[in-house]
Each structure stands twice: as C-alpha cells, then as structure tokens.
Structure 1
Amino acid sequence: MVIRNRNVLAAVTASAVLALPLATFAQEGAVEEKKPRRVSRALEEVVVTAQKREENANDVPISIQAFSPEQLAAFGVESTTDLMKVTPGLDMGTQAGDFTSVFMRGIGSEAWLTSDPSVATYIDGVYYPFAPSVAQDLKGVERLEVLKGPQGTLFGRNAVGGAINVILKKPDFEDTWTEVSVSASQAEDRNKYEVGMFVNVPLTDTVAMNFAGSVGQDDKVFSDSSTIAGSEVPADKIFAGRAMLRWQPNDMFDTRLTIQGAKRDGTSTLAANIDPTPLGTVIGIDGDKGRNYEVDPDLPIFGHLQSFVISSQSELYLPYMDVKFLASQQAHSNPYNYDYDGTSFPSASFIVQRHDADIDEAEIQFLSNDGTPFSDWLTLTGGAFYFKKEQGFDPVELTVGGADLTNLSAALGNPGGLLGDLLGALTPVLGEVLDGVKVPVYALSNIGMVEGESWSVFMQATAQVTEWMAVTLGGRYQDEYVGVAESGTTARILNGEEIPLFDWQQARDENNEPYPLGDRTKAFTPKVAVDFTPFEDGTLIYASYQEAIKAHSYNAFAFYLNPAYVPAEETTAYEVGIKTRLFNDTVQLNLAAFRYELENLQSQSISLTNGGALSLDSAGNSESNGWEFDIKADVFPSIFEGSLIATINGTFLDAEYTEYIDGAGHDPVTGIFTPNNDFTGNTVTRTPEFSGSASLSNTWFIPGGPLEATVSYYYNDGFFYAATNDPRFSQPKYDLWGAHLSYFLEESNLRVTLSGQNLADEFYTAGMLKLDFGALGSLGARRSLGLAVDYEF
C-alpha cells in the first residue's frame, strides 16, 4: 500500500475555501513558501466542463459557479439540496417527501410530481429526471458545477433553467488510499449520524477501481412529542454506495463503468400544517402546533426511496478529434403515503403502492482537439442524445373520510359538553355493531403511467475572430414523444370489492377539449454568444442569446378527470456579463445581467375537488429580469499573508407572470380551490427578490497543523409557493448563520471539525404543499452542533 502524504494540501485547504484545485498548491509548494501571492493562486479559475470540454471557469461565456469538495464541506453542503446556501438565485425545495423542485433565476417547475425538472441534474454525465432522486449525496465528488440560465444546446433535454453538473472522482492508477469520515450532529429533539468511506485501489498499471459509500440515521426535525398514528416518529435510515471501474490501456482510450445505488427508509412525507385554511380551521387544525415542530398525523406515514444506476463512459482520443460515449440505465422506486391534512383528523390520505421510473440514456459527443483542422481559431462540439422512460403510479389510492365510527368522539376531536356526552354514550353501541370497521366516504385507486422517447442532435462552434473577440454559434434539434401508457380508476367499497370506473382512452387539453393520449414536441433551439477579452489582464466580457424547450407533458394521475395535456414550455434568454480580477489579482469579480421570457410554464395543483388529487396546467407566460454578482477576495494580503478569505454574492430578481389567465388555486380568503383565476402580474413562485450569501475564513498555522475557522451567512428575502401569492402559502424572509472550526493534524492525516448550522435557530420551510386544509410545510433544519472526524491513510 502506498500512503499518500496530503499534509501540504490539507494545510492550505482553509485558504482554498473559495475556488481552487488542491493540486495547484501541491505543485507550487504553497506551504513551504508562505507568500502573500498564495491567495492569487487560490483565486485562479476552477477547471469545469460546462461546455462538454475542460476549460477554466473564467474563460466560459456563461454564468457558472464551481465548488471543490473542501469548499462544500466548509459551508455545510452535504447534498445537492444544500447548494442554495452558496448559490444565489437557486432555490431547491423538497415536498411530499423526496420530491425535489429546483428553481434558478425564476425558472423552475411546480409540476414536480409527474413532470421532469426544469433545471437538469447530471451525475458524471448521467441525466437524472426523476424528481425524488435529484437530491444526491456528495461523497467521492471531484467538483460540482452550477450552470445558470438555459443550457438547451449542449445539455439539452429540459435544461430550460440551468443545470447542476456533478463530476465524480476517477479511479487513480498511482496510489492506494482510503478516506474515512464519521460525523454526528445534535439539535433540539434531533440526532443525526453518518459514516462514510472512499477507497481507491489500483489493480494494474491500466486498471483501477474506487468505492464510495455512506450509512446514516436522521432522527428528523420534529419534536419528541410528535407521533405518527399514535406511535413515536422513527428515524430515517440512509444508505448510498458506488463502485467505479476504470481501464486505460493507452493514451488514446479511457473507459469507466459505474454502479451506484441508494436507499432511504423512514417517514420522508411527514409534514406540518403551519397555516390552515378556513376549512382547516373549521376542523380544528392548529398552525402554531406545526410551527413548534409538533405533528400527529393519524396515518402511519412511510417513505421508501430506492435507486439503482449503471452507467459507462468511454473516451477515445484520436489525432483529429476526441470522441465520448455515455450510456446508462436507471431504475427508481419511491412508494410512500401522505396525510392530506397533516393532523390526527381523518380527512384524506394518499397511499402510493408503486411509484417507479425506468430510464435508458445514450449520448455520443465529438470534440475538436489540437489536431482538428483550423483548431488554432475554431473549437467544435457536437453529438447526439437518446432518452427513453416509463414513469408513474401503479397504483395510487385516495381515501377520503376514514372516520372510526366505533370512536366518534376521537374522530371529531374529543368535543366536550353535551355533544361529548352523547358521543361517549354511542361509542360502546357502535363498537359492538361495527367491530372496529372504519368507513371511508370513498376510496379510489388510480393507475397513471407516462412514457416518453426522445432523440436530439446538437452542434456548437466557437470562432476566435480576432485575438480579443470570439463568436459562438450553436443549435439543437429535438424530437420527443410523450404519452399516456395507462390511466384508469377503480372504486373500492366497504367489503373490499373493486369496481372499475374509468379507463381513459382520450386526454384533455388546457381548454378541457378532447386531446390524443400521445404527442410529439419537435423544435430547433439556437444559441449565439459573443465574448471579448480587450484588456491585458484577461477580463472577459460576454453577451449571449439562446433558446431552450421543455417537452409537453401529461398528467395521467387523475381520479375522475381525463389525463391532462400540457403544452411544451419555451424559454428565450438574454444575458450580458463580465469576469475580471482587481487589485493586483487579489479580487475576482463576476457580474451578470439577464432577461428570460417564458411561454407555457408547466404548473400543478392538488385539490380533492380538482381531479381527485393532482392536476397539471399551463401557467401562461412569464418574464424574469435580474442581475447578480459574485466576489471572492484575499483580505489584507500584506497583513494576513493570504490566509484571510472573503466571499460575497447575491442575485436580484424581478419575476412575474405576464399572462396567466384561467389559473387554478386556493382562494386566499376562503381557501376553497377555484379554477379560472387571473394571476397576471403576480410574482412567480419560489423567486425571492434578493438572495445572497457571504463568508469569511481564516487559517492559523499552529503547532501540529493548520487551524481553520469559517463563518458563513445566507439571506433570502422570501417568496411565494403559490401563484395566487397567498401569504398563507409563502416563505417570509429568513437568514441562516453557520460556522466551523477545523484542525488538521499533519503527521496523522487526521482532521477534526466542529460545526454549527442555523445558529440563530431560524424557522423556515424547505418546501410546501398547498392543500385544501392548509399549508403543509417540510420544515427546515433547526440549530445544530456537529462533530466530524476525517482520516486518510
């Protein structure tokens, strides 16, 4: 076994909290020479693959933020859902358990239940469209990139708002090493534990493997007094594992095979009704109870998310071009149930017995290299992409009512007075007659499966017109079929007999007119960009225009209405920006201004009176205008010798619906679900007017190794969850403070970290469902203190 000495890297990790490949320090001997210029190297561009080839981030004419694993750890980013803490303009929320909705600069999708996200997530080149599996653990990650704005040319399918690109560590042929991490955190009424490992093993000079895995337990955010169907709330149990095999027989060929799986068992759909509607108030729902992190649903909540992905990636380096081929198969499963009101009142419940997605993908890329003709001034990237999926519910059951008639007093909230006495007298009589039978008002079972198949070709060319000016032209042609594979409803009566009700053979469009059960979206989406480097300091100025499209969708999950067709979502984007360094290369400043015009936003609503549960519709048109800044700086380098690092960034947004008639939602006054509303002029959901973050980090070189301290801050001035802009369904402004103190023992390769998250114990929501009985929030994590130990050998 070869033990790698990473003391040099670890000693400068704190100074590198901004953005740098750790190898930069190893190559330049940063520790041996404590120079003020060290931070200048720390502020060098991170190598990214935002345009399908390795480039420095500051040479790419798009808005992008890139993070190393050390940066992510320093800011408490443990999964992709935490990225909003360090990425202004990004909102990632979870609701109904594991469903993740992502908004970027005012572009996102409320139709997360049966449609694909509008911000695409890629894990080592594999596109993940299944919303419950978008949240990914970040063990064994090489770097993470957040690409802002439509990426319709190179990333293609449904990347109308942007893309999150996670790049994994490749197996290394040189050394064998193991990284072990153990962490524990504690908050009020909550404990969280995790053990992780990453192992690299060279098998021969040309074959190597690596393994990444983690197991953990999370006691949830709710109070100890919370219950589920009268029992204690169980912890979530989490497992994730990955194995990657790499073969590189020569300098021309490199191939990798990756197998990864993840499983989470627990109560992921548990939510708190924090703001009841008038209907919720009538049945006695107390919003203050939910805001105190106390829940007591009558339904035995469960959620079981599983995913299995096998993928391959091969790279062929020819004299005149580079060729990459990617292929993957994905199998995801997410059975769960959901208490409609979130309380002990027996109103309605959803039980999803099967929620599966089977996905096949293949992509080939052709990239010019130094041997390509005209490579001294022309860069070419092209390829083709194929995608196939089947996804949906088989079946999902809706039960409305369910009162236990043998105990009417409990079912009605144990009322006192004369009514309570009367109910108490009836209880033993009904108990003898019904013998414990619960009688639902009705119980419906629905099968709703959607299928799709898509292929596309793309090309992008960048011409260096002069020494200081380049022009990029690109385009993508997409042909996608999406249709309903099966949609039908049966009713279950008291004796358990099921009666077929509907077997839908026709869908309905946005005007409730008959529509076929399948359709195609065909489109060509162009891109034009111009960038300038007119100054000797390498300042990049760019302007871009691009279009992107998200294919049409169907909601096959409806109990007593035909499947709903929703037309394709189209985005037109304009952006100008500048990337520059100031003050003797000690400050990196990125500025961007943008305008997005969207047509046919895909939206969803959930109501017992609207299709029995879920409905999809088109939110018409919207505009999103804004600007953002990102600053990374070495503070007082002559005094601190490059050890004090500061970051500050923010996004200002003005996003509104320019045309949204015939919108559906809950009335802000009555709480009753109503169609045919006009939401024109309202603010787009999940888009705060301002969000931003800041951090300050310093490193002291003390006996034994470096001591690092970081303070971080995130601010969000609030947003609406509903197009109605009902304050009941909103997240008021909030801020999150975090800090960590880390000490690295060089001789032992051991790092000990103390951390704190949400130090002010701010109440906030990570997501929300807008339902007939009120706002069911997925509550954000409370103040927690943690200890982590990382050991490498």
Structure 2
Amino acid sequence: MPETRTIYARACASAAAVTAALLAPCSAMAEDAAAQAAPAQDGAPSVADIIVTANKRAENLQKVPISIAAFTAKAIDTQGIKSVVDLPQLTPGLGFTRTLVGTNAFLRGVGTTSAGYSTESPIATYVDGLYMPNSAASSFSFNNIERIEVLKGPQGTLYGRNTTGGLIHVITKEPGDVTSVDTSVSYGNYNTVQANFYGSTPLSDTVAVNLAALYVNQADGWGRNQFTGQEAYKFKDVGVQGKIRWQPAPDTKITLRGFFDKVETDQGNAVAMYPGSVGTDGSTYVGKYQINSRLTPFAHQRQYSVSLKAEQGLGFANLTSITGYIDNASPSLQTQSPVLGQPLPGQGTINLGGYQTAKTFSQELQLTSNNKASPFQWMVGAFYYHDNSMIQINVYGTCIGAVCAAPLPTQTTGYANTRSYAGFAEGTYSFTHATRLTLGLRYTSDQKTLTGQIVPLAGYPDSIPAFPAGTVTTPAQGGIVTDVTFNKLTWKAVLAQDLSDRIHAYASYNRGFKSGGFNPTSFTNPASKPEVLDAFEVGVKSELFDRKLRLNLSGFYYDYKGIQLRSTAPPAPPGSSILFNAAEAHIKGIDADFSAVLAPGLSLNGGFEVLDAKYASFPSGVCTTPRIIGPGVLGGTVSSTCNLAGFKLPQSPDFSATLGLTYRAETRIGRFEFNANDGYKSSFVWEPDNRLRQGSYHLVNASLTWTPPGSRFSLQGYGRNLGNAYYFVSGANGGGNDGYVPGAPRTYGVKARYQF
C-alpha cells in the first residue's frame, strides 16, 4: 500500500510538472504552435483519436470543452471492462453502490443511495441516446459496446433533468456493411460460465442487422448464509439485443433497436452486520462474505425495451427523432437490517417483500445545423417523457408460528406517475478559428402524482386482527399534496480557446437539476423539492511530444443546493424510509487523465482526482449513535437531529486514481497482449453523519491474451481483484442496525474467443 501510494504521488507530481510547463509559456504559444501541431513521424506510434458524441454530434474528444472519460471498444476489451460497474477501474471520481439488481453511480461526490424504482439517479444513464430511468437498467455485460462516454458535471442543456452530476452514455455497435462475428466463452472460479455472441450482416444494399446475446451464470456464491446453510452472493444474467438499420437514401437512416434482459441475484441485498457493530438482537459481524438471515434474500429484474431512431438530412440541418419504450419488473425479498431476528417484544428483523414495475415512454426531437463552414453551429430540440412506476412493499417482522415481532404486517402499494416536457437550444459561435463561445438553455416542466393504499398483509399472523375490517389508507389520508409540478430553467456557457492545434483550454458555467418527487412507500412524506447544482470548471486538453502523450486536466467548483437524501433510520417508520432535502454542499476538486505511448506496443494510461466534498449547511441532519448495551438493550443504534455542516458527502474519497499498462508483442508463436490496471480509492463515508466508513483499497485486474499467427482464435487468462481486497459496495444504517454488502473477492478464469 505505501509503495503504491508513492507511485501515485510521483505520477501526480509529474502531471503537475507537465501542467506547469504547459501553462507557463502561454504568451509564447503562438510561436510553438507549428511544432505542437506537427504530425507524428511516419510509422511512429501515437495516441489514437477518439470521436465522441457528448454534444449530440460527432466530435474529437480533445476539442469538446467538457471533462469526459471515453473508452473505445478496443480499450473496453483490452482493459477488462465487463459491465458499466467496472468503469471506476478506469475513471477516477466515479463510484457505484449496489442496490437490489441495479447500480447507483456517484460522480465527483454527486449520487444517490436509493434503491430500485423509488427515485431517479442524478447521474443519468443513456444507451444509444435513450434515457434509462432506473438504476437496474444501467448494468449489463454485452459484447456489442462500441464506446462508453462518462460526462462529468451537470449536462442540463442537451440532456436535461436528472443529470445533476453528469451522465454515462453507452453507445452500441451499428450493423455493418460486411458480415462479422465475435463470440466467446469463459469459465472462472465460483463455477462461473459466461458466453457472449455478436453478429452483424447486411441483408441488402439498404438493410443491415446485428444481434448480441449474453449468458452469465455464477452458480456458486462467494459466501454463505449461516442460518440456512445456503450459499450467498450468486449471479445469473441472460439477455439479447439487436438492431435493424434501414438506409433507403443517402440522407435517410432508420434504426430499430430491441433489448431483453433478465437478472437473478442477491449480490445487492444480502446484507450483513457491519464490522464492529452490534444489532438490536445482539447480532454481530459473522465473517467475510457471511450473512445470518432467517430468509433467503433475492432480487430479480426483467427488462425489455424498444427504440426507434430516425435520421433525416434536410440540407441546411439534420433532423433526428428518438422514440423509446421501456418495461421493467423486479420482485425481491430481503431484510431491512442485517440482524437475525427474534420474535420477542421490541426485537426482530424487519422483512421486506417487494415488487416494482415501471413503464416508460420517451420522445426526443433534435434539429442540428449542417453547414460546417458557418461560424455558427446550433441545435434545437424538444423532449417528452412519461413514466408510470408501481412499488409494492410487504413489511412484516419475523414470524414463528402465530407470533410475529414488530412491525405488524402491512402491504403498501404506491403508484408514482411522471410527465415531463422540455425544450432546449444550444449554439456555438466561432469568433476566430481558435475562439468559440457556446450558450445553451433548457426549460423543463415535470408533473408528478402519487396514489396508492396501505392495507393489512393477508396470510400473516397478527395482520388482520391488527386493523379494523376494510381499513385502507391512501396518500390523501396522509395529509400530503399528491400532485406537484416542478418548472426549471437550466443553462450552460462555455468559452473555448485553441492555444495551438494540439492544446485546447476552456472555462464553463453549467446549471443542472434533479427533479423533485414523492417517496412512493410513505403517504405522510411530502414530495422533495428539486436539487440544483451550479458548476464552474476550467480545463486544458493537450497532446504533447509528437502525440506520444495525451494529458487532460480540469479544476471544478460546485455549489450544490437542495440535495435529496433518503434514510431508513428513525424517524423513518419501520420498514419504510423518509425522503428529504439537505441544505447545501460545496464540492471542489482537480481531475487529470492521461494516455501515453511509451514504445511500439507499450502504452500507459491513468488519471487521478483530488476531491473536497462537504456539506456547507445541514442544520437538520440525522445522526445515528450505537446504543449502550445493558439490561433490555442488546444493541442497535439511536437517531437524533444534528448539524452536519462540514461533514463529508457520501462516496466522496479525497483521492482516487487509476493506472493501467498494455503491452503487445509479436512472436513466432503468435501475438501476446498483456494488460494490467489498478483502481485506487482513499477512505470514504457511506452516510451523511460520516459514522460508517470504508477504508482505502486497491482493485488490481490483469489479463494475458494469446492469438496464434494468422488465427481468428484467441485464448485469454484473466484475474480480477488479484490482491483479494475486502471492500464494500454499500453500507447503511437501516432500522437502527448497521449493514453492508461486500464487493467481489478475487476471481479468475480463462476465455476462448473467435472473431471474423
């Protein structure tokens, strides 16, 4: 650990030295422009161009005045990215919390720990331009990914609502004009089998199709449920997706995309007692990857979606229409807290049986200027979004025979409806060939309603006698307003300056917001208000040393207000949660990323982020404190109101870094390709009161691939978390008990692949 930190410290110092050398002679930059712009020598290796669509048009990564981490299909393959949740290995400042079958992203300290369909993430996920509203929709392992773009900072103009902290855009491969196949099968420890298939072929001069299929089955768990003796932390995923592209004319293209996926796992909700904590029933930490639960937790997710993208050239502009429909369903069973549960007064696990559905329709129209010779480039558009979500939660204490521990069994069903309308416009004017100003505006109107009921949970002891016959509680009876509208104007202003052909600087001011909304499992919790983030950023993007080094740096400051938080700690009702707005936070930091070609076949990439993310004002926070064990008190925590000003934001490590190396060698027996990367995070906290803390850790992955001479086959050996770091993917206080979910231990295996 100390040696690795020294390496990172030296890398940071080197980056700082290069930056100082880069920025110091700005007054003489014009004289050096020709030298900086010189192409690489014939045959000499250099960093490759990366084309991104962050501004909804194809542009070189280095010319886009946004902090972006972009990974091509080749980089994704060689660096072992198997799903979106692996991106922190390559993206400093990015983290994920596992929730049920999905994931919640944190970027530069902005994120949410809410599970399931109860709220949208402030780090949006898009797939081929289609907004994916639920965290469960953001994690998959298909091999048809063309590129992944991580946009850091609010994207409130072109992407709009719920991009407070940024977004992740997954772009999948388009059907090609020639037939191609990419198929692989792998086997790893924990009896893990994975098979991937991708095929693409033209059907005619105007029609082409592709298809991707996935099967993953981790049949053995990482751990065990000590109470039932069953294995814990398994995973299974089966899915298929494909595209049909029709191009009847040179300026017309229509693409139909379909997607189906089914996940079965307990890796996001098999909760264990946090090390060092004691539960309300006296439960304690029972060991690595061990749980102690009377029930067998599970979370399933079935999702299908279809989208239609139509692109039409109009001469002066290009018109794009993206229509999408997504249908999700997710049953689950878990405990709110990690205690075993005893059917005694005042003690017992709170069991949660859940069923969630979401049906989402969206329509976006974009009109983009097409005169590249004009100094003014523009885009206007409109967006409509309609989501109907249903969340049903069955809450009951541990029952043995006719005796149930508190709380009394109830069934809460909430129906949350969202209709959103937005219009946006953005324009970039080039004052000179080197100076550009971009201005953008977006107006959003979100209309949200809540209906539902709370009834006795039939079939469980104490449920019917606990309620008068026919008792039904509705949101209207809870005394809250059940129909709200949130209107918001967001904007961006960016000044970009080319200091040379290979060095670009920018300064930006962006406003983003996350819409307010209801807590659909509580009929006494008023709707939260929108959260708003004002971001100020300066950055430099450069390619140096005859394009042997790409070095990008940025500094940012966020003024973050109305932060939405969810808590299951008291005063939340047993089995439920409260949704509320914190006051304000200030976030500042420095981002850096680099790619370097050291020699033919040898490249190095990495980056770091230094982050300071703290609440500036939070007078009505919730603090949890371990109870003093004594007569009648076996453990657990007690909650109180406290002032959290100066406390760190959850999932905001002070320092995070990545470092990766790739080496390719051609030999008489074939091509060998070695890749290794290390993702490091310093310690961070899980909740606003900063009591539960994750220690610093490294995740080291590596692979070695052999391709015989002239062969389309390859064989790979891989290892993930080679240091067998024991780290957590979530931690929280639920129902007065401290719980956590662990990340994956060391995994390894072999993969055979065939391509043509």
Q: What is the TM-score of this pair, normalised by structure 2?
A: 0.88
Aligned-partner Cα distance in 2 for 1:644–1:298 = 53
Q: Match for 2:443 among 474, 477, 482?
A: 477
SS at match of 1:137: coil
Aligned-partner Cα distance in 2 for 1:778–1:79 = 19
SS at match of 1:596: strand
- 1:263 — aligned with what? 262
CA 1:646 to 1:165, structure 2 compared with 1: closer, same or farther past 3 Å? same
Q: Match for 1:337 among 318, 322, 333?
A: 333
Is contact 1:552-1:567 (8 Å) kept? yes
Aligned-partner Cα distance in 1 for 2:702–2:456 = 54
Aligned pairs for 1:278-317 (under 5 A) are: 280=279, 283-287=281-285, 289-290=286-287, 292-317=288-313
SS at match of 1:335: strand
Residues 1:685 and 2:688 aligned together: no
Deviation at 1:392, TM superposition (A): 3.0
Query: C-alpha offsets along residues 365-401 of structure 1, whole Å, 9 cap, x if unaligned?
Result: 1111127xxx4211111101100101131x2111124
Query: C-alpha offsets along residues 244-290 of structure 1, whole Å, 9 cap, x if unaligned?
Result: 1110011010011111010012434442424268651x523221x24
Is contact 2:687-2:732 (8 Å) kept? no
Deviation at 1:350, TM superposition (A): 3.5
Residues 1:48 and 2:52 aligned together: yes
- 1:107 — aligned with what? 110
Aligned-partner Cα distance in 2 for 1:99–1:230 = 26
- 1:724 — aligned with what? 689
- 1:82 — aligned with what? 86
CA 1:94 to 1:338, structure 2 compared with 1: closer, same or farther past 3 Å? same
Aligned pairs for 1:714-793 (under 5 A) are: 714-726=679-691, 729-772=692-735, 774-793=737-756
Aligned-partner Cα distance in 2 for 1:673–1:532 = 55
Aligned pairs for 1:218-297 (under 5 A) are: 218-219=218-219, 221-223=221-223, 225-227=224-226, 229-233=228-232, 235-275=234-274, 280=279, 283-287=281-285, 289-290=286-287, 292-297=288-293
Aligned pairs for 1:610-629 (under 5 A) are: 610-612=572-574, 613-629=576-592
Aligned-partner Cα distance in 1 for 2:694–2:233 = 27
Aligned-partner Cα distance in 1 for 2:376–2:638 = 56
Query: C-alpha offsets along residues 531-555 of structure 1, whole Å, 9 cap, x if unaligned?
Result: 10132x3310000001111111110
Residues 1:144 and 2:148 aligned together: yes
- 1:494 — aligned with what? 461
Query: C-alpha offsets along residues 178-208 of structure 1, whole Å, 9 cap, x if unaligned?
Result: 211111221xxx2321101001121111111
Aligned pairs for 1:12-161 (under 5 A) are: 37-40=43-46, 43-95=47-99, 97-113=100-116, 114-161=118-165
The number of residue pairs the alignment matches comes to 698
CA 1:277 to 1:396, structure 2 compared with 1: closer, same or farther past 3 Å? farther
Aligned-partner Cα distance in 2 for 1:668–1:494 = 31
Is contact 1:506-1:562 (8 Å) kept? no
Is contact 1:695-1:711 (8 Å) kept? yes
Is contact 1:182-1:789 (8 Å) kept? yes
Deviation at 1:584, TM superposition (A): 2.1
Deviation at 1:148, TM superposition (A): 0.5
CA 1:555 to 1:377, structure 2 compared with 1: closer, same or farther past 3 Å? same
Is contact 2:627-2:638 (8 Å) kept? no
Aligned-partner Cα distance in 1 for 2:623–2:452 = 27
Is contact 1:269-1:301 (8 Å) kept? no
Is contact 1:530-1:542 (8 Å) kept? yes
Match for 2:611: what amino acid?
L
- 1:697 — aligned with what? 662
Aligned-partner Cα distance in 2 for 1:475–1:543 = 17
Is contact 1:644-1:699 (8 Å) kept? yes
Aligned pairs for 1:385-400 (under 5 A) are: 385-393=383-391, 395-400=392-397
Aligned-partner Cα distance in 2 for 1:674–1:284 = 18
Match for 1:676: what amino acid?
T
SS at match of 1:70: helix
Aligned-partner Cα distance in 1 for 2:308–2:127 = 12
Aligned-partner Cα distance in 2 for 1:496–1:503 = 15
- 1:579 — aligned with what? 541
Structure 2 portions without partners, runs of 5+: 1-39, 343-347, 629-635
- 2:170 — aligned with what? 166
Aligned-partner Cα distance in 2 for 1:518–1:579 = 46
Greater Cα shift, 549-558 or 228-237: 228-237
Deviation at 1:746, TM superposition (A): 4.4
SS at match of 2:696: strand
Deviation at 1:695, TM superposition (A): 1.1
Is contact 1:504-1:562 (8 Å) kept? no
Query: C-alpha offsets along residues 435-477 of structure 1, whole Å, 9 cap, x if unaligned?
Result: x445343211111221110010111100111121100010101
- 1:382 — aligned with what? 380
Residues 1:181 and 2:184 aligned together: yes
Is contact 2:321-2:364 (8 Å) kept? yes
Deviation at 1:489, TM superposition (A): 4.2
- 2:620 — aligned with what? 662
- Provide the alpha-carbon RMSD of the alignment: 2.2
- 1:326 — aligned with what? 322
Aligned pairs for 1:326-725 (under 5 A) are: 326-346=322-342, 347-370=348-371, 375-393=373-391, 395-402=392-399, 404=400, 436-441=401-406, 442-490=408-456, 492=458, 494=461, 497=464, 499=469, 501=471, 503-506=473-476, 515-535=480-500, 537-558=501-522, 562-607=524-569, 610-612=572-574, 613-635=576-598, 637=599, 642-667=600-625, 672-725=637-690
Match for 2:250: what amino acid?
D
Match for 2:192: what amino acid?
K
CA 1:686 to 1:502, structure 2 compared with 1: closer, same or farther past 3 Å? farther
Query: C-alpha offsets along residues 607-663 of structure 1, whole Å, 9 cap, x if unaligned?
Result: 36512321111111111100011111112x3xxxx2111112000000001111212
Deviation at 1:128, TM superposition (A): 0.6
CA 1:320 to 1:54, structure 2 compared with 1: closer, same or farther past 3 Å? same
SS at match of 1:736: strand
- 1:424 — aligned with what? none
Match for 2:306: what amino acid?
I
Aligned-partner Cα distance in 2 for 1:503–1:345 = 28
CA 1:524 to 1:504, structure 2 compared with 1: closer, same or farther past 3 Å? same
Aligned-partner Cα distance in 2 for 1:226–1:491 = 27
Q: What is the TM-score of this pair, normalised by structure 1?
A: 0.84
Query: C-alpha offsets along residues 78-109 of structure 1, whole Å, 9 cap, x if unaligned?
Result: 111111111001111103x2242211111112
Is contact 1:122-1:165 (8 Å) kept? yes
Match for 1:589: what amino acid?
L
CA 1:67 to 1:111, structure 2 compared with 1: closer, same or farther past 3 Å? same
Aligned-partner Cα distance in 2 for 1:719–1:318 = 51
SS at match of 1:565: coil
Aligned-partner Cα distance in 2 for 1:56–1:668 = 53
Query: C-alpha offsets along residues 85-136 of structure 1, whole Å, 9 cap, x if unaligned?
Result: 11001111103x2242211111112344411000000011110111222213
SS at match of 2:499: coil
Is contact 1:94-1:768 (8 Å) kept? no
Deviation at 1:305, TM superposition (A): 0.7
CA 1:690 to 1:276, structure 2 compared with 1: closer, same or farther past 3 Å? closer
Identity within the alignment, %: 25
Is contact 2:68-2:150 (8 Å) kept? yes
Is contact 2:493-2:509 (8 Å) kept? yes
Is contact 1:527-1:546 (8 Å) kept? yes
SS at match of 1:215: strand
Aligned-partner Cα distance in 2 for 1:220–1:769 = 26
